[in-house]
Amino acid sequence: MLLENAKVLISDDSILARKQLKDLLFDLGCTNVFEANNGQVAIDTYMSEKPNLVFLDIVMPVKDGIKVTKEIIEFDSDAKIVIVSSVGTQKHLREALEAGACEFIQKPLNLKNLKKIVESMI
Amino acid sequence: MYTQFFGNFILNKGVITPEQLIDAISYQKATHLKLGTLAIHYGYMTASEVESIHIMQTHVDKRFGELAIEQGYLTPEQVNELLTSQKPNYLLFGQILIDRKYITNAQFEELLAEYQAQFKIQDIDFIHATQDKYSDLITSFYNFPGTEEQKEKFVNYLNLFFSNLLRFIGEDFTPLHAAAFPEYPINFCVSQDITGSFSATTALDMNHATAIAFASRYADESFEEFDEYVSASIEDFLNLHNGLFTVNMSNDFDIELSLNPPEIKQERILTYPSMYFIPIIFPFGTMNLIFTIELT
């Protein structure tokens, strides 16, 4: 699939983190981007929009990124979820992958790393 | 990090005022090191010899190095070595204080010798400075209560915090000593709780103007007014720093911690049983790092 045709969901409680990720995705050609500012909104948006790729923060209000991953995978076992977090401990990494996430990116973001991941997923 | 703490060191000697410190910090980016400052640092010339060359330079149109060679203070090889040497940035800071007439060359010579001796700084430290060396530096500036193990965590926390300021905000800051207060009146305050094997509250407090400048540097944007992006930038920085801290704790000490989402404090006064704050001076304003210490 072409990057410009892909639907991407970004879920992070920080408006800055969402903007920065969205800017990077725009640079890569992904312009069809949805945003969620907490875990529950992320789940609701996933169900209504069925995005091709999801970026989730771990530390979020209402529902954390690991719980959201589990619920989205229950709904759609083919969902492609990337966890983007500053809390990249082995424990979190393991939990994220066990919950069904495909990738884990340690913040701060870098364009090269992000590009590699996005291109391998879409 | 030696540069950042040199400001703290000089301030505590009572040689300069906080206003002079802030003034000097704001000149840091636009100033270059002079040969005379380097010659004092390497012990090739005394402060009075440097002074005499400066006086000569008011009469003759010659460079410092040329005159110093003529006077027999330096050899051509030494001049060359000084020009090509690795230069610790706190020299620059000292030079600004001299240029601004806050201290004399002789005072600088004395302060430099004392600072380097007290913190066992050799030149090699600047080229291969390790996190361990920074830990030593931080330990000698901050003496927190608690067990050795608890102290180690604070030092780790601060070491990472100052490293993150250097990495994401800039080199032009000076951390002051820590103070303990049962109550703290806040300006704009972002806090984040750490829970798990131990728990702590961490917070950053500053006024709106300082937040705008801090956020602009962190997010690499030119924010002009205090808005949700500015607020989110401060939250993001604290969250990123605490996130990296939990990673370090997990990897190095097998301590598992969790973070609550950062929040903006609504109350006007923070009250915790054991609360410390460290003022950090930037040219654009002062930010306070606040944290609680759990001693149970």
Scan residues 98-117 of A and list those with Cβ closer than 8 Å to B: 106-108
What residues have CB less than 8 Å from B147, skipping those under 6 apart? none
CATH code for the domain in which residue B201 is found: 3.40.1550.10
Q: Map tokens 């903006």 to a residue.
A: B264
Residue B38 pLDDT: 84
Domain assignment of residue B102, yes or no: yes
B115 and B171 part of one domain: no
Concatenated DSSP letters of B25-73 = HHHGGG----HHHHHHHTTSS-HHHHHHHHHHHTTS---HHHHHHHTTS
List, in sequence order, the alpha helices (H) in chain A. 15-28, 39-49, 65-75, 90-99, 111-121
Do the Cβ atoms of A122 and A53 come closer than 8 Å? yes
* pLDDT for residue B129: 54
The pLDDT, as a whole number, for residue B127 is: 46
Report the pLDDT value the prediction gives residue B296, as an integer from 0 to 100: 52
**Domain containing B11: what range?**
2-127
Q: Is B230 contained in some domain?
A: yes
- Asked whether residue B135 is domain-assigned, the answer is no
* pLDDT (tens place) for every residue of chain A, 122 residues total: 778 889 999 999 999 999 999 999 998 899 999 999 999 999 999 999 999 999 999 989 899 999 999 999 999 999 999 999 888 888 888 899 999 999 888 888 878 888 888 888 88
Cβ(B90)–Cβ(B84) below 8 Å: no
Which segments within B115-207 are labelled E, that is strand?
Answer: 174-175, 179-180, 183-185, 188-196, 200-206
Cβ count within 10 A of residue A106: 20
Mean pLDDT of B95-113: 89
Section B42-47 average pLDDT: 86
Whether complex ipTM tops 0.90 = no
Spatial separation of the C-alpha atoms in residues A50 and A69, rounded to whole Å: 14
What token pair was written down for B32? 């270059």
Same domain? For B57 and B164 the reply is no
In 10 A of CB B128, how many CB atoms? 8
Element (H, E) at B250: helix B228-253
Number of domains composing chain B: 2
Considering the domain architecture, whether residues B121 and B148 belong to the same structural domain is answered as no
* Residue B185, helix vs strand vs coil: strand
* pLDDT of res. B123: 56
Average pLDDT of every residue of chain B: 87
What total number of domains does chain A contain?
1
* B112 and B236 share one domain: no
> How far is A70 from A64, CA to CA, in rounded Å?
10
Instruction: Judge whether B194 and B242 are in contact, CB under 8 Å.
Output: yes
Q: Are B168 and B216 in the same domain?
A: yes
Quick one: what percent of chain B has pLDDT higher than 70?
Answer: 94
For chain A, helix (H) and strand (E) counts, in that order, are 5, 5
Average pLDDT estimate for B176-202: 91
Predicted confidence (pLDDT) per residue in B209-233, tens digit: 999 999 999 998 899 999 999 999 9
Nearest CA-CA distance, residue B230 and chain A, Å: 8
pLDDT of B295: 55
By the CB < 8 Å criterion, does A60 face chain B?
yes
CB contact under 8 A, B250 and A89: yes
Q: At what angle do helices B18-27 and B89-99 cross, to 10 degrees?
A: 120
Q: What percent of chain B has pLDDT over 90?
A: 37
Question: Is B121 in contact with B115 (CB distance < 8 Å)?
Answer: yes
In the predicted structure, residue B15 carries a pLDDT above the cut 80: yes
Q: What is the pLDDT of residues B238-291, one digit of tens each?
A: 999 999 999 889 888 888 899 999 999 988 888 888 889 999 999 999 999 999
> Is residue B208 scored above 90 in pLDDT?
yes
Task: Fill in the amino acid letter for A116.
Answer: K
B77 shares a domain with B24: yes
Q: B152: part of which helix (H) or strand (E)?
A: helix B148-168
CATH code of the domain containing A17: 3.40.50.2300
**Residue B110 shares a structural domain with residue B150:** no
Residue labelled with tokens 């300021």 = B165
Q: What is the pLDDT of residue B272?
A: 83
Owner of token pair 């829970």: B195
Q: Please say if the pLDDT value at position B144 is more than 60.
A: yes
Q: Residue B211 CB: number of other CB atoms within 10 A?
A: 24
Query: Whole domain around residue A69: which residue ranges?
Result: 3-121
> What are the backbone dihedrals phi and psi of residue B109, each rounded to the nearest 5 degrees, phi first?
-55, -45
A47 touches chain B (CB under 8 A): no
Judging contacts by C-beta atoms under 8 Å, the chain A residues touching residue B196 are none
Residue B31 confidence (pLDDT) above 80: no
- Tracing tokens 């004399």 back to the chain, one arrives at B104
Higher pLDDT, A110 or B130: A110
Reported as a single tens digit per residue, the pLDDT across B82-103 is: 887 766 778 888 888 998 899 9
* Chain B residues touching chain A at CB-CB below 8 Å: 168, 219, 228-229, 232-233, 235-236, 239-244, 246-247, 250-251, 256, 258-261
Q: What angle do CA B2, B8, B9 make, to 5 degrees?
A: 80
Nearest CA in chain B to A14: B232
Both tokens of B215, joined, read 């956020």
Confidence of residue B206 (pLDDT cuts 50, 70, 90): very high
One domain for residues B184 and B214: yes
Q: B136-160: b or e for each residue (b if 16 or more CB lie within 10 Å)?
A: ebbbebbebeeeeeebebbbbbbbb
β-sheet bridge partners, residue A55: A10, A82
